[in-house]
Amino acid sequence: MKLDATDLRYVTSDEFRVLTAVEMGSKNHEIVPLSLIVQISGLRNGGVNKLVGSLAKRNLISKVQNAKYDGYRLTYGGYDYLAMRALSKRDAMHSVGNQIGVGKESDIYIVADAEGNEMVLKLHRLGRVSFRAIKEKRDYLGKRKSASWMYMSRLAAQKEWAFMKACLMFSILPQFTEVEKILHEHNFPVPRPIDQARHTILMEFIDAYPLRQVSEVVNPGKLYSELMDVIVRFAQAGLIHGDYNEFNILIRRTTGEPVVIDFPQMVSTSHENAEWYFNRDVEKVLEEGTAEPGFKLDVMVEASGFGRKEMQVLEEYMESVKEQEEQSSEVYSEEESEEEKSEEIEQIQQETIESEDMPSTNLEEGGSVPMTVDAPAPPKYQ
């Protein structure tokens, strides 16, 4: 999917309010009824009618006709917009450049801050399978009735963020212990995580090629032992990468050093299938992997707020993706009583206000959102 940043500048405050209302409504509705959008946004009926039209025209939401009622869904474009708006509001990013990667379940863009420093924005794109199958299996969603691509993509970003933060903390933590050896041992070669919003992660740009594209490695023996070393150190800290392959290992252009990326499928070494995951990543290093760890990355990840429950939700999702590859998503809805609806709105608003930059009644003044699109220099490799 193409990110069209030019549109982002022209979202008015009322449009933003409606867009956010669709996002809030999506937490419990696959298709958000117009009446709910009106209710959450607090705007007039007629006004909302026009605003949904203009948002739909720009593909930030899409109209869905349903057996029971007509309604709207947030699109990936709309969700991207909300995430980037949050990042730009806190000055983490300022402009969007070229797309440098398209993964099965993510899009990668070069972005820049106000000073023009390049970074990487990873937008997670989960949810191309039916959620009904997952929902039938388990009750873990609690009140959140419509587990959606939004929710799963956000969980993936949050998980990746938690792991990257934990790795980063291990890289800097030992500096304070004055033990150089430990510093070196725990200096995980991963991009520095910078910020996280919704389904996105902002991180350091690594000037590198994926190992997959490198036709000739200068010193294969050295690279091999470095890669083994990284995987063992991850395991000693309690983690298994889970997708350790030539697409997720970048080779720095300048030094030839490896940098490991792509963490949403990481598992703890205490996971019941840890051995299987580990063996899949690399064979015959299990003994080192189960050595008594000095630090526990997996424990830190949990302490960071990405808990077992979230981990389980995402894991089950990923497993079910494997099971039903290529199955297209189904649309359905559930009717609710008016009382349930208003409780729900309160709950959603509360959640969103606590966790995000969400809009109370005083949204932004003025019309447009300050997101510039002066494209930064093209990516350094291609």
Positions annotated as catalytic residues are: 243
The minimum distance between CB 337 and ligand ADP, in angstroms, equals 40
Q: CA-based diameter of the chain, in Å?
A: 68
Q: Which residue is nearest to ligand ADP (CB)?
A: 103
Task: With H, G, I as helix, E, B as strand and everything else as coil, classify residue 200.
Answer: strand
Q: Which residue is nearest to Mg ion (CB)?
A: 262
The one of ligand ADP, Mg ion, none whose footprint includes residue 205, by CB under 5 to 8 A per kind, is ligand ADP
- Positions that interact with ligand ADP (CB under 6 A): 100-101, 103-106, 108, 120, 122, 191, 203-206, 208, 210, 247-248, 261-262
The minimum distance between CB 305 and Mg ion, in angstroms, equals 24
Rounded to whole angstroms, the Cα distance separating 178 from 112 reads 34
Nearest residue (CB) to Mg ion, 243 versus 357? 243
Give the Å distances, CA to CA, from 208 to 118, 226, 362. Answer: 14, 16, 44
The one of Mg ion, ligand ADP, none whose footprint includes residue 223, by CB under 5 to 8 A per kind, is none
Phi/psi for 286 (5° steps) reads -60, -35
Tokens 């649309």 -> residue: 331
* Residues whose CB falls within 8 Å of the CB of residue 261, separated by 6 or more in sequence, listed in order: 190, 191, 206, 248, 249, 250
The minimum distance between CB 101 and ligand ADP, in angstroms, equals 3
The minimum distance between CB 369 and ligand ADP, in angstroms, equals 26
Cα-trace Rg, the chain: 22
Q: Using CB under 5 A, which of the segments 220-228, 247-255, 363-371, 373-381 binds Mg ion?
A: 247-255
**Residue 13 corresponds to which tokens in the numbers above?**
């405050």
The one of ligand ADP, Mg ion, none whose footprint includes residue 21, by CB under 5 to 8 A per kind, is none
Q: Which residues from 322-351 bind Mg ion, rule CB under 5 A?
A: none
Rounded to whole angstroms, the Cα distance separating 118 from 260 reads 19
Q: Which residues from 76-135 bind Mg ion, rule CB under 5 A?
A: none
The one of Mg ion, ligand ADP, none whose footprint includes residue 210, by CB under 5 to 8 A per kind, is ligand ADP
- 210 close to 267: Cβ distance less than 8 angstroms: no
Rounded to whole angstroms, the Cα distance separating 123 from 157 reads 8
Among residues 80, 113, 262, 298, the one that binds Mg ion under rule CB under 5 A = 262
Give the Å distances, CA to CA, from 205 to 98, 267, 300, 378. Answer: 13, 25, 24, 13
Nearest residue (CB) to ligand ADP, 52 versus 168? 168
Among residues 75, 236, 248, 268, the one that binds Mg ion under rule CB under 5 A = 248
Binding site for Mg ion (CB under 5 A): 247-248, 262
